Amino acid sequence: MERMIARFDEKAEIIEHCQAAEDIFVLKVAAPAVSASARPGQFCMVEVKAVGSSDPLLRRPFSIHAREDGGRLSFLYRRVGRGTDLLSRMRPGEMLNVLGPLGRGFRVRPDITPILAGGGMGMAPLLFLAEYCAGSMDTFTILGGRTASELTGLESFRRTGTRVLVATEDGSLGTRGMVTDVLDGLLKTLSESAGQCEIHTCGPWPMMRAVYEMASQSGIPCWVSLESRMACGTGLCLGCAVYGTEKILHVCREGPVFHGDSIRWRDGQ
């Protein structure tokens, strides 16, 4: 039997709900039980429908963006569909059912320097990881997006003490280019000590694949946080399947964070 971390289905009060950019929101809730056992890279299933409604039926998976004092958790999300649109209209004081913490998060080792690489909304789980690592180790965080306005919350990352490197496709902030362009430069700078690094990445599939391939070529372990459609988030339905190199993997239970070597990248999403 695999080790089971305590999970809770908690009625959580919305403490803050800010629009950080067009279609990007930060939701802060009071969920003391979920918060207390949460680890970086884990996620929650958040119920977005009104009480008594059956539509939209399913909860939405959100990775934990940050953990704050007082049993609070925050989620960073983009408004992409009906579920997140409904969620974005909810106000402080309203209650949300939050089930978590779920899944297996990032694995960090004390003697290894973590390089965090996030593309777009993929930065969501990385802030919690940066906070977790802060103080005990040096970290680098590479954040990439199409344009500067997408990269909200850079200050939150900087406050953790991680060294933040930025890439935008239009060159409006940081290096013009992709996350991998910055990663390539960083690995060259680190040169020999790159062997003492580990990469943790989250973002669009092609970006994670490129990061993983670059890491592999440098002989650096790479952990990837995957997304999938989900119904339960708890291993009941087996719906969130992705192709692994040896077998089907379930994002909610064996993931969402996987070692890059275990994913069959060519069958991407």
Partner 1 sequence: MNRNFPDLSVTIGSLSLKNPVVLASGTCGYGAELGDLLDFGCLGGIVVKGISLEPRAGNPPPRLVETPCGLLNAIGLENVGIDAFIRDKLPWLMGMDTAVIVNILGDEIGEYAEIARKLDDAKGVDAVEVNISCPNVKSGGAAFGTDPWAAADVTRAVKSATSLPVIVKLSPNVTDITAVAKSVAEAGADAVSLINTLLGMSIDIDTRRPSLGNVFGGLSGPAIRPVALRMVWQTVRAVDIPVVGIGGISDANDALEFLMAGACAVEIGTATLVRPGTAVGIVEGITAHMESRGVPAIKDLRID
Q: Which residues bind partner 1 (CB under 8 A)?
A: 1, 4, 6-7, 9, 47, 54-59, 97, 99, 228-232, 234-243, 247-248, 253
Q: What's the token pair of residue 128?
A: 């919690």
Pick 28 or 59: Cβ nearer partner 1: 59
Kindly tell me which of 213 and 243 has the beta carbon lying closer to partner 1: 243
The distance of closest approach from Cβ of residue 39 to partner 1 in the complex, given in angstroms and rounded to an integer, is 16
- Smallest distance, Å, CB 55 to partner 1? 5
**How would DSSP label each residue in the chain?**
-------EEEEEEEEEEEEEETTEEEEEEE-HHHHHH--TT-EEEE--SPTT--SS-S-EEEE--EEETTTEEEEEEE--SHHHHHHHT--TT-EEEEEEEESB-----TTSEEEEEEEGGGGHHHHHHHHHHTTTS--EEEEEESSGGG-TTHHHHHHTT-EEEEEETTSSSSEES-HHHHHHHHHHHHGGGGGGEEEEEES-HHHHHHHHHHHHHTT--EEEE-----S-SSSSS--SEEEBSSSEEETTTT-BEEEGGGB-GGG--
Closest to partner 1 by CB, 54 vs 136, is 54
Smallest separation (angstroms) from partner 1 to the CB of 8 = 8
Of 175 and 228, the one with the shorter C-beta distance to partner 1 is: 228
Between residues 37 and 217, which has the closer beta carbon with respect to partner 1? 37
Distance in Å, CB of 106 to partner 1, minimum: 22
Q: Which is nearer to partner 1, 97 or 172 (CB)?
A: 97
d(CA 264, CA 131): 30
CB of 262 vs partner 1, minimal distance in Å:
15
**Closer to partner 1 by Cβ: residue 33 or 134:** 33
CB of 231 to partner 1, least distance (A): 5
**Looking up tokens 């060159």, which residue turns up?**
171
Name the minimum Å distance from CB 240 to partner 1.
7
